[in-house]
Structure 1
Amino acid sequence: MRALTLLLAVCCAVTYVAGYTITLKTYQHDCYHEEIKKDSFYTISYEVGGNDLVDFMVTGPDGLSIKNILQQNSANFDFPEHLASGKYTYCFMNPTSSPTDKTINFHAHGVDHDELMPIEEKASPLEKEVIQLAQSIERILDHHDYMIVREEEHRDTAESTNSRVKWWAAVQIFLVGAACAWQIWYLKSFFEVKRVV
């Protein structure tokens, strides 16, 4: 019965994945805040469209920098579990004077284990292993959901590129055909005998 209760508590753990897409203009930065509890799992994954690069920074509730990732087009950041509870801020920055806007897809993955904490305090070693296994499964599911979103975005990009290549090939065929027709007409008119009456 206790094992069934533990399994039910593990299955009822609140899991969420939040996915966002933002656009950064030149020298712009965009920040987000998350209320994170101590000893909870939380990670942020991001990817910049194209080959563009951005800076990523995380600051804690005390305002001190926890992580700086400079000029990367994708990264994952796991919040260490020993961090204190509080409001954490993460920012994306476009420090370059690139004329094009930069599109960033980012996902915040997290699991709240408040329902599991009372069980963990009195759990046997086997039950603790089951809880850790459940947490690992939640992380894998979060990452799987994130990879599905990335695959959809990459497929859309590939289909768009395929469409552009197809239309460019059609335009080239038309231009080559028009050039051939003009050359035939020009050579034919060049060899025509013109009579003066």
Structure 2
Amino acid sequence: RDTLVTGEYEIGAPPGSSTGPSANLKITDSAGHILYAKEDATKGKFAFTTEDYDMFEACFESKLPVGTGRMPDQLVTLDMKHGVEAKNYEEIAKVEKLKPLEVELRRLEDLSESIVNDFAYMKKREEEMRDTNESTNTRVLYFSIFSMCCLIGLATWQVFYLRRFFKAKKLIE
């Protein structure tokens, strides 16, 4: 929650070419909200803050003029960082005039806070999954009981039906 995400990207030219086709970059969350978009991207940086734990999708869409044939291979480099690793502690040290030891303590404090937050999130997810598991187990139990009742009822009906059938055919008394 409220986690900084930063990244750098670079789209390399195809082998044997000095310039590559242009590409559009779009970063979206699982709900489809656009967090970052850039047209004709070749190299750059981006940053955004997440509102909640989520999955993000980075989409590079190459554009090639019509009639130029097959799309050449391109090398795309993407380096994304989030949380503590996304913070620039050198910049923080300059702004706040911190000593190297204080910067390291700040980094360790942020790291420990991040670990505590991750454990709290994992505990919450574990509780949700346990509740789902218990609910599923209860449903399976009730379905099993229902199935057994149906089978017992069907077997009882079959015995009475066959007894009546054989009595009608005078095979049993």
Q: Which has the higher strand share?
A: 1
Q: TM-score, normalised by structure 2?
A: 0.48
| Structure having the higher Rg | 2
**Larger relative contact order (CA 8 Å, sep ≥ 6):** 1
